[in-house]
Structure 1
Amino acid sequence: MSAAVGTYRVFRPAPEALDRCEHHHRARFSASHRASEVVVTVEGEVDATNSRAMATYVESQLLGVSHLVLDLRLVDFFGTAGFAALHNINVVCARSGVTWRLRCGRQVRRLLAICNPEAALPLEKPQSVLDDLRAGDRALA
């Protein structure tokens, strides 16, 4: 039996993997590349079943970019495992020299208010009144 000889990518994804949408247990990940920036959008629910897949997907989209925007505004549920994934993304970006910022709505902001009180993650300022509402507020009820 002869061993196959060849090369393969270890830390960088194949270029054809860029911008590919993925579905992982009630969540959808998609990316849009423009020049040296990538916007990764996450929709649905992020929990222990798919948080690692989210971090892996984001890392796979960093090829050749210097800036990342992680958009979590369409997330309906964000568990504590999602926070661990965000921390992992923060470390990967720092190691790769990629600046990044996090866009999020009520669901994610609620968790970050508890898990990220010192603002270690680069949270973008709210862009709309709905983004600015705190999850616990009952002002509209």
Structure 2
Amino acid sequence: MFRPDPRSFDQCEHHHRASFSASHQNGSTVLVTADGEIDATNSRALATYVEGQIAGTRRLLVDLRLVDFFGTSGFAALHYINVICARNGIDWEVRCGRQVRRLLAICDPGGELPLEKPRSLLDEVRTGAGDRQLLISGNN
């Protein structure tokens, strides 16, 4: 009987005003995507969710480009993820848009967190996550 590897399925969780999903790619990379609002009600859930997804991986990408609001507790979650990845020898990177970059410029002025360089003009222009979702889905 054929049984697919359960890590190959997207795994999604909803916490307050945010959703987290994980996709295991190439066997050693995990992509965790968050959308919605990351604040004190769900930042710990984000960190715990990521921690639960990284077993046996070598690389982690945390995609926060669709986050509408990112509070200071979100920074604490990213710091926790940084510590967990360092302890487990996992290379990781944060993909973020304007909302997250603005807060990290204040909370992480030394650039300790591994931020991906912007790959799209949409990461830099003054649009909201909802605008990017429309462009990505092709419903513009």
What's the TM-score bracket when you normalise by the shorter of the two chains?
Answer: 0.7 to 0.9
1:132 to 121, 124, 131: 124
1:78 and 2:64 matched? no
2:24 to 25, 33, 43: 33
Larger Rg over CA atoms: 1
Unaligned stretches of 5+ in structure 2?
A: 128-140
CA RMSD, 1 decimal = 1.8
1:41 and 1:75 map into 2 onto residues whose CA distance is 9
Q: TM-score, normalised by structure 1?
A: 0.81
Aligned twin of 2:79: 87
1:62 and 1:19 map into 2 onto residues whose CA distance is 14
Q: TM-score, normalised by structure 2?
A: 0.82
1:109 and 2:101 matched? yes
What displacement does 1:134 show? 7.0
On the 8 A contact 1:109/1:134 being kept in 2, the answer is no
Runs of 4+ in 1 over 6 A off after TM superposition: none
Figure out how many residues of one structure are paired with residues of the other and give that number.
121
SS at match of 2:61: strand
Aligned twin of 1:59: 51
What displacement does 1:20 show? 1.9
What's the % identity of the aligned pairs? 68
Aligned twin of 1:69: 61
SS at match of 1:119: coil
Which structure features the higher share of helix residues? 2
Aligned twin of 2:36: 44
